[in-house]
Amino acid sequence: MRAGKMMAMVAVLGLVGAILATPAAAQAAPAKKPTVMAHEATGKTDCLSCHTGQVKEAKAAPADHATRPNESCQLCHAKEAAVQTKDAPHMKHTLTGKTNCLMCHSGKMPKVPAPSPAAHVGITDNKFCAYCHLPAAPATP
């Protein structure tokens, strides 16, 4: 009798663990906000001319920013940037096998959310999507 209760308890705990490990639960917390520029950007067109680690007053850009164009800096680091003023919804899917976000999220497919035109003006490259919209966690076996 005691072994049966233990097995039932283990099964319930396993079920609770599986429920808690769903992508929605794993992605419930909003993404960390990027730092806001501590200076005015007007007239400055080459962010990496200072943010290389060579200028003492300017924090070096992280290594994963090396391939990002200067135009993308203000998308995240301007005080009025959408990513600073609201939380982007998480993707409801993983990125496995998906390389072209706009193939589905162009506004032409029914029941697939299209990008918000006001918040996404100028964003036409898929590599920017996951900067704000975190992908769902892969399903665990």
- Enumerate the domain spans of the chain: 1-30+88-141, 32-86
Q: Read off the pTM.
A: 0.53
Alpha-helix residue ranges (DSSP H) falling in 70-113: 73-77, 82-85, 101-104
pLDDT per residue over 93-105, tens digit each? Answer: 888 888 888 888 8
pLDDT value at position 4?
Answer: 41
Enumerate residue ranges in the chain where pLDDT < 50.
1-28
Cα first-last separation, the chain: 30
Average pLDDT, the chain: 73
pLDDT per residue over 4-31, tens digit each? Answer: 444 334 333 333 333 334 344 444 455 5
